[in-house]
Structure 1
Amino acid sequence: MRFEFLDMAPRTPLVEDTYVLEITKEDLPYESLIVQRGISHMFRFFSKAPHRVLRGKELTELRGIQIQGPNYGAFKVEILEPSFTIGVCLHPTTMFKLTGKDMSYVYNGFASLEEHCPKLFETVSPVFKESKNDPSLFSERFYTAIEQLDLKINQRTKDVDEAIRIIHENKGLINIKDITDKVAITSKTLNYQFKKIVGITIGRYIRQYRFISLITQYQQEEIDFYEMMYKYNYYDSSHFTKDFHFFTMQSPKEYFKKDYPLINKYLKA
C-alpha cells in the first residue's frame, strides 16, 4: 500500500490536500479501517473492480469519480483488485461553493460526480484522466480547472467558514454558543446553514473534530492515555470509550494495540 500527499502549488483555501493511493497485487485483498476527518473528498479510482465500502451492514460499490460527503463515524474499505486512486481533500465548504447544492444529500455517503454534478464533472474529469500517469501535476491542474468556475460565496458561506476556523483553532473544544457570540449569528441560523453548506450539523462536526484532534495528537506525541482524555474534556472514561468506539469501531485498548499505516499517513501523524 502506498499513500502519499501531493505537493499543493499553488495553495488554495478550497483544497486542503491532494493525494494518491496505490494498492498492488501484493496488498490484496486490502482492507482498512477509515477514521474520518470530517471533510468532503473527490476522488477517482483506476481499477478493474469497484472499491467496496462497508458502513454498518450497508455495502456500497464505488466506481469512477466520486464525491464523499462528511461521514460521521468510521467505516471499512475493501479493495479486491490492484488500483490507483487520485483524490482531493476539500475544505468543508468547497463542494457547496462549487455546486450550490445542499451538501446534506451526501452526508454519510458517496455520490457519482457525473450523475449529481455534471457541469463540475465535465470540468475536472479531464484533470483526473490526464494525471493518471503523472500525478505530480494533478494539484496544479485541479486548481486551474476549479479557479475558472463561478463560486457560490455569500455572507452565509463566510459565516460558516468563520465558524469552522474557530472550531479548528480550538481543536473542537468549544460550544455552539461561544461560536455564535463570535460570529454574530443565531444558533438556529448557524445550525441550518452549517448543515446545508457542510453537510453535517455543527454539533456533530465539533464532536468529530475534537476526537480527530485527540487521535492526531496522541499519534504525534504519544501522551498519556488519561491525560489525553481529560485534556479533551472527557470527564469520565465511559463517555470517552463511547466516542472512541463510535469513531473507530473499536475500544481504545483494541485500537492502540494495532497499527494503521493508512490512518497514520492521512491524519499526517
Structure 2
Amino acid sequence: MIFERDSNCDSPYFTNVSKVTYITDTDLQTFTYLGYSYIIFVFDRTEFFDHNGKQQPIPEVILLGPGDFFNTRGYKGAGSIAIELPAQTIHIATGKPASELRNVIIDIKDLIPADIVDRMHSKLRVSTSFEEIKSILIDEIESELKQWNTQTKSSDVVKYIHEKKGLVSKQEIADLFCFSERTLERIFMKEVGTSPYLFISQIRFNNALQDLQLMNMDFSQLMLNYNYYDRSHFEKDFEKFMGKRIIQYKNGIPSLFEAALDRSYHKN
C-alpha cells in the first residue's frame, strides 16, 4: 500500500488531502476519522465494515463525520482520495444534526448532482498530483466547498481545541467563548456530532498518538505532555476511539492507520 499526503495544503476549503493506492490485497484495517469531516473518493474494490463487523455498501464518493471509524480492506489496484474538511461540514452539508449521523456513510450524490460527482470521480481517478486533485475539486465543487465552510457557532471553538491539541477543559472553553456548559453541549451535539468533552478527548488522543508514532516519544513523556494519568488511561482512550484494544493489533498499528498519523494540523 502506498500512502501519500499533501503537506502544503493551503486551500481555504480543506485542511489536508491524502491518497491511498493498494499495490497488493490488504488485511482488514481500522481507520478512524477524528476531529474532521471527510469526503472520500473510492476507486475500485474497497470494502468497509462497521464496528459490528457488518459490511457496508460503499458509493463511489462518500461523506463521513468526525469520530466515525470503520474497518477497511483494499484489493490490488484499488485506492482512494480523502479530502479533510472542518468538523462541522457533515452538519452544514446535510442540514441534519451531526449526532444523528455518527458512523453513517453518506452518498455525496445526495448532496451534489450525480453528473458532477461522476465527472469529478473520473478526473480524480487519473489525477497524478495533489495540485491537480485540488484544481479538480475547485473547478467542480467550489461553490459547495465554500458553503460547507460557513462559520457556525462551534467553528471558533473547534479551531481553538485543535490549536490547543485537546489540552483544554470544557469549563475553560465555556468561559472563553461565553457559553454556558449546557448551551455548549447542545451546539456540539448538533454541529459536531459529539459532546465537547468527547471531542476534546478525541483531539488530545489524536495528537498524542501522532507524537508517539512520529517522535519516538516514550509513554512517560507522553503521559506528562498530554495529561494522561498513566498508560492505562491512554489505552482506554485507544479502545474508545479505535474500537479495539492496542494488544488486538497484530504486528503493531496497521500500515494505513500508521501512515495516516504522518500529518499535522494545518490552520485555516
**Structure number having the greater helix percentage:** 1
CA shift at 1:110, angstroms? Answer: 1.2
Paired with 1:249 and 1:117, the residues of 2 have a C-alpha distance of 29
| Contact 2:9–2:17 (8 Å) recurs in 1 | no
Paired residues for 1:70-219 under 5 Å: 70-72=66-68, 74-80=69-75, 82-114=77-109, 116-119=110-113, 123-136=116-129, 137-149=132-144, 151=147, 157=152, 159-219=153-213
The alpha-carbon distance between structure 1 residues 50 and 28, as it changes in their structure 2 partners (threshold 3 A), is: closer
Distance of 1:131 and 1:178 partners within structure 2: 43
TM-score (norm 1): 0.83
Do structure 1's residue 34 and structure 2's residue 42 form an aligned pair?
Answer: no
Is the 8 Å Cα contact of residues 50 and 63 (structure 1) preserved in structure 2?
A: no
Map Cα deviations across residues 48-90 of structure 1 (whole Å, 9 max, x no partner): x452324133332313111112235x54212245312222111
**1:241 alignment counterpart:** 235
Residue 62 of structure 1 aligns to a residue whose secondary structure is: coil
1:16 Cα deviation from its structure 2 partner: 1.3
Q: Name the CA distance, whole Å, in 2 between partners of 1:239 and 1:259.
A: 18
Provide TM-score, normalisation by structure 2: 0.83
Amino acid at match of 2:2: R
- Cα distance, 1:18–1:181 mapped onto 2, change above 3 Å: same
Q: Distance in 2 between matches of 1:122 and 1:93?
A: 26
1:3-56 per-position Cα deviation (integer Å, ceiling 9, x unaligned): 2124766511x31112221113xx214422224323211112221x45232413
Distance 1:230 1:177 in 2: 21
1:267 has 2:261 as partner: yes
Q: Which residue of 1 aligns with 2:42?
A: 45
1:2 alignment partner in structure 2:
2
| Separation (CA, whole Å) in 2 of partners of 1:143 and 1:234 | 41
**Is the 1:6–1:139 contact (alpha carbons within 8 Å) kept by the matching residues of 2?**
no
Match of 1:62 among 44, 58, 64: 58
Give how far 1:217 is off: 0.9
Stretches of structure 2 that go unaligned for 5 or more consecutive residues are 264-268
Aligned residues: 260
For the 8 Å contact 1:50–1:61, the answer to whether it is kept is no
The one-letter code sitting in structure 2 at the alignment partner of 1:56 is: N
Q: Distance in 2 between matches of 1:263 and 1:185?
A: 35
In 2, the alpha carbon distance for the partners of 1:37 and 1:257 equals: 23
Deviations 1:138-165 (A, max 9, x none): 212213433324726777x0x3111112
